[in-house]
């Protein structure tokens, strides 16, 4: 055996390691101890250096896969050295060592709740890396030039120098050589300051570029630099006074002229130096005006969410009645396939129809086929449909409108109006009458029918329909304290395959001293046994006697027992007994008596029968438990 283990050890390691640990004639144990010394020798020092490398490692130019693999390998090495690294520490060090490309994602991962795992962080970083690889390249550097087209230049513009803060540019007093610019054929001047400046001269274009020497050539006059030709109205680009509004800018108040200075425009990507030196970011030019038609169209398509209104307004252009709230209608239903699905308003927009209904206004005026759309602002009455449904006429005059009966020409209602519309003004009490009892039931917090009847008789509310006997589904759900239990259709296939047990406590002790009784119900035959008990602790002995009784009288054994989680059934003695007799114990969850429903129902039935017998015979309650024996015998 020693040779077999020795051969296996030497074959499982590398040749270099085998040469260093093997000895002629050495045992397998000696080789194993040498290998262990190789890997676990100087464990503390190696763990210190490995931990230092783990906490100082950074991504650099590594890809996300290689970076995470290196961290995972270092964590496994520390675990082999007896210094395990938790997953949270591993994730935090991975986020710490990310390069600046993943700084935003790293901040998001640190604040994630719950804290992400190693695999989640690796997947998120890999996805971010793929997204960056698919992103378009950065925009090329663009130079912002403030020169306008003038005379022809004679030389190519020099290479721009690195930008400088504006507060440091040209702050020293200028010498004649520094302030002069060439105006004859594009003269060129070199100064001692960095930066690049293009100034319009008298007859050409002069340029000044930073350099080491101060020689100058050409001649001419200099003028202050002008602002860059952009669409925004900069008063001074270094003060941040930017006025953006369509159209011409309002005249500025008079300001003191700033001291003459050269304006320097930085070369670089747009907005690169805005946060560092205070340089305003370039802004796209704005059009001199705005599209008035588009602005008007946006205002026309806006919907104002106002509170539901009870008032109705006559509209001769509406083809049907329209309302914004189904609560003001007597009945409302879901739109059928024959009903319109939308309403076309004056500007051609479509308003969705959510329901249809009808209502009865005072003076027996009917509004049928009312379309309900929440986006409507006013409730509209179609004059055409109103006159057909009510066999009436509507007459309009400068002071209001009148609704008259068509055959008799008698006035039904007069509505005065002082505004631009013709409302159908009704008394407030009449508006309350347009609500059904079911609607009042919902508004008042789902009270009972008796409460609604008392409110209706006291004239607190008015309903145009009698109280409905329909069951409110919301009331049923709101009054349930727990979810309903489903009816069980399971049934045992033979006697004593499953029995149901429960213990009932009587409020009155019987004359024989019994206060409890045990109920045992066979699931197959529904045969019932009842056992009066003086103490709860007698339950176990009664059950064991019953099991012996079944084994003796029926030549079979009880296979399963269903009960609640009472301690009279769930104790050490009972469990040992059930295990010894191969009985499957099924207990219901705490406070869920319906799980033991068959035993609970049979107890209720027995109590009802016993109480009825006691009342019939005028026997005191103390004789209730003896009736159980009579009931069992009968």
For residue 68, pLDDT beyond 60: yes
Within a domain: residue 156?
no
Q: What pLDDT, on a 0 to 100 scale, did the predictor assign at position 298?
A: 56
585-627 pLDDT, tens digit per residue, is 988 888 787 788 888 888 888 888 888 888 888 887 777 655 5
Q: Is the peptide bond before 114 cis (omega within 30 degrees of 0)?
A: yes
Comparison of pLDDT for 426 and 368, the residue scoring more: 368
Most confident by average pLDDT, 20-29, 219-228, 302-311: 20-29
Within a domain: residue 239?
no
* Section 227-233 average pLDDT: 46
Within a domain: residue 238?
no
Q: How far is CA 286 from CA 230, 233, 244, 272, 281, in A?
A: 9, 10, 8, 22, 15
Q: What pLDDT, on a 0 to 100 scale, did the predictor assign at position 296?
A: 58
Is 260 in a helix, a strand, or coil? coil
* Section 289-298 average pLDDT: 58
| 600 and 617 co-located in one domain | yes
Residue 371 near residue 343 (C-beta atoms within 8 A): yes
For residue 62, pLDDT beyond 70: yes
| 429 and 517 co-located in one domain | no
Most confident by average pLDDT, 32-41, 422-431, 458-467: 32-41
| 311 and 429 co-located in one domain | yes
| pTM beyond 0.75 | no
Most confident by average pLDDT, 37-51, 260-274, 303-317: 37-51
Q: Which of 612, 218, 68 is nearest to 630 (CA)?
A: 612
For residues 112 and 49, give the distance between their C-alpha atoms in angstroms, rounded to a whole number: 31
88-130 pLDDT, tens digit per residue, is 999 999 999 998 889 888 888 888 888 899 999 999 998 988 9
For residue 273, pLDDT beyond 50: no
* Section 186-201 average pLDDT: 42
DSSP 269-329: STTSSHHHH-PPPP-PPPPSS--HHHHHHHHHH----PPP---EEEETT-SS-EES-GGGS
For residue 632, pLDDT beyond 80: no
* Section 367-384 average pLDDT: 90
Q: What pLDDT, on a 0 to 100 scale, did the predictor assign at position 522?
A: 94
At residue 250's C-alpha, the angle toward residues 245 and 256, to 5°, is: 120
Q: Which of 40-44, 419-423, 489-493, 516-520 has the lowest mean pLDDT?
A: 40-44
For residues 528 and 270, give the distance between their C-alpha atoms in angstroms, rounded to a whole number: 91
| 309 and 418 co-located in one domain | yes
* Section 231-243 average pLDDT: 46
What is the number of structural domains in the chain? 5
70-79 pLDDT, tens digit per residue, is 999 999 988 8
CATH code for the domain in which residue 421 is found: 2.40.70.10
* Section 422-428 average pLDDT: 75
Q: What pLDDT, on a 0 to 100 scale, did the predictor assign at position 108?
A: 86
Confidence of residue 310 (pLDDT cuts 50, 70, 90): confident
Within a domain: residue 265?
no
Q: What pLDDT, on a 0 to 100 scale, did the predictor assign at position 195?
A: 42
| 456 and 403 co-located in one domain | no
| 395 and 506 co-located in one domain | no
| 428 and 400 co-located in one domain | yes
DSSP-assigned beta bridge partners for residue 367: 359
| 443 and 404 co-located in one domain | no
Most confident by average pLDDT, 237-246, 406-415, 486-495: 406-415
Within a domain: residue 275?
no
* Section 485-494 average pLDDT: 82
For residue 302, pLDDT beyond 80: no
For residue 136, pLDDT beyond 60: yes
The secondary structure of 476-545, three-state, reads HHHCCCCCCCCCCCCCCCCCCCCEEEEEEECCCCCCCCCCEEEEEEECCCCCEEEEEECCCCHHHHHHHH
Within a domain: residue 117?
yes
For residues 497 and 450, give the distance between their C-alpha atoms in angstroms, rounded to a whole number: 51
For residue 497, pLDDT beyond 90: yes
For residues 181 and 215, give the distance between their C-alpha atoms in angstroms, rounded to a whole number: 12
For residues 612 and 618, give the distance between their C-alpha atoms in angstroms, rounded to a whole number: 10
Average pLDDT, the chain: 74
Q: What pLDDT, on a 0 to 100 scale, did the predictor assign at position 589?
A: 83
Q: What pLDDT, on a 0 to 100 scale, did the predictor assign at position 568?
A: 87
Q: What pLDDT, on a 0 to 100 scale, did the predictor assign at position 547?
A: 94
DSSP 379-442: EEEEHHHHHHHHTEEEEEETTEEEEEETTT--EEEEEE--SSS-EE---HHHHHTTB-HHHHHH
Q: Which domain holds residue 554?
A: 499-633
Q: What pLDDT, on a 0 to 100 scale, did the predictor assign at position 198?
A: 42
Q: What pLDDT, on a 0 to 100 scale, did the predictor assign at position 256?
A: 53
The DSSP output letter for 166 is G
| 550 and 620 co-located in one domain | yes
| 389 and 464 co-located in one domain | no
Within a domain: residue 264?
no
* Radius of gyration, CA atoms only, the chain: 47
Within a domain: residue 574?
yes
Confidence of residue 496 (pLDDT cuts 50, 70, 90): very high
Record the tokens describing residue 470, joined without a space. 């329909």
Residue 324 near residue 374 (C-beta atoms within 8 A): yes
* Section 520-526 average pLDDT: 92
| 624 and 507 co-located in one domain | yes
Confidence of residue 271 (pLDDT cuts 50, 70, 90): very low
Percent with pLDDT over 70 in the chain: 67
| 67 and 34 co-located in one domain | no
Q: What pLDDT, on a 0 to 100 scale, did the predictor assign at position 134?
A: 83
């Amino acid at each position: 055996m020693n040779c077999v283990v020795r051969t296996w050890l030497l074959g499982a390691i590398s040749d270099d390691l085998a040469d260093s640990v093997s000895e002629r004639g050495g045992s397998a144990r000696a080789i194993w101890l040498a290998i262990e010394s190789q890997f676990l020798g100087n464990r503390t020092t190696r763990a210190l250096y490995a931990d230092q490398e783990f906490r100082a490692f950074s991504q650099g130019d590594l890809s996300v896969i290689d970076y995470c693999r290196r961290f995972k390998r270092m964590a496994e090495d520390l675990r082999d050295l007896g210094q395990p690294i938790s997953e949270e520490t591993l994730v935090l060090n991975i986020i710490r060592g990310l390069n600046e490309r993943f700084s935003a994602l790293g901040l998001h991962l640190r604040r994630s709740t719950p804290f992400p795992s190693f695999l989640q962080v690796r997947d998120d970083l890999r996805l971010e890396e793929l997204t960056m690889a698919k992103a378009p390249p950065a925009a090329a550097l663009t130079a912002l030039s403030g020169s306008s087209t003038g005379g022809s230049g004679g030389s190519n513009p020099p290479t721009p120098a690195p930008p400088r803060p504006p507060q440091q540019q040209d702050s020293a007093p200028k010498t004649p050589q520094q302030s002069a610019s060439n105006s004859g054929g594009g003269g060129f001047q070199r100064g001692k300051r960095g930066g690049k400046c293009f100034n319009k001269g008298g007859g050409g274009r002069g340029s000044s570029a930073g350099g080491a020497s101060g020689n100058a050539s050409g001649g001419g006059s200099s003028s202050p630099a002008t602002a860059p030709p952009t669409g925004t109205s900069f008063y001074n680009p270094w003060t941040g006074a930017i006025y953006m509004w369509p159209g011409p800018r309002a005249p500025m108040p008079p300001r003191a002229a700033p001291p003459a200075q050269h304006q320097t425009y930085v070369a670089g990507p747009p907005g690169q130096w805005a946060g560092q030196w205070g340089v305003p970011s370039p802004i796209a030019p704005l059009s001199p005006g705005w599209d008035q038609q588009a602005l008007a169209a946006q205002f026309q398509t806006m919907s104002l969410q106002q509170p539901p209104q009870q008032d109705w307004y006559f509209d001769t252009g509406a083809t049907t009645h329209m309302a914004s709230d189904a609560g003001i209608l007597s009945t409302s239903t879901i739109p059928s396939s024959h009903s319109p699905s939308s309403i076309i308003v004056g500007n051609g927009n479509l308003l969705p129809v959510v329901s249809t209904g009808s209502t009865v206004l005072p003076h027996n005026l009917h509004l049928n086929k009312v379309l309900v759309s929440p986006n409507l602002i006013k409730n509209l009455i179609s004059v055409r449909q109103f006159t057909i449904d009510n066999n009436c006429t509507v007459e309009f005059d400068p002071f209001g409108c009148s609704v008259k009966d068509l055959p008799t020409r008698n006035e039904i209602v007069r509505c005065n109006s002082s505004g631009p519309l013709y409302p159908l003004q009704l008394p407030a009490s009449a508006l309350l009458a347009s609500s059904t009892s079911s609607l009042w039931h919902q508004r008042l917090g789902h009270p009972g029918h008796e409460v609604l009847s008392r409110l209706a008789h006291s004239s607190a509310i008015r309903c145009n329909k009698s109280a409905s006997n329909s069951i409110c589904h919301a009331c049923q759900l709101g009054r349930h304290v727990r979810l309903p239990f489903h009816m069980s259709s399971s049934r045992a296939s033979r006697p004593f395959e499953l029995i149901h047990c429960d213990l009932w406590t009587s409020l009155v002790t019987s004359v024989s001293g019994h206060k409890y009784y045990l109920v045992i119900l066979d699931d197959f035959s529904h045969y019932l046994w009842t056992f009066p008990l003086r103490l709860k602790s007698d339950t176990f002995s009664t059950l064991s006697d019953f099991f012996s009784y079944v084994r003796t009288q029926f030549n079979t054994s009880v296979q399963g027992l269903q009960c609640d989680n009472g301690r009279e059934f769930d104790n050490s003695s009972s469990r040992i007994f059930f295990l010894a007799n191969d009985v499957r114990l099924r207990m219901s969850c705490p406070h869920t008596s319906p799980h033991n429903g068959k035993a609970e129902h049979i107890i209720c039935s027995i109590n009802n029968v016993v109480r009825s017998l006691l009342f019939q015979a005028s026997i005191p309650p103390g004789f209730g438990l003896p009736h159980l024996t009579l009931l069992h015998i009968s």
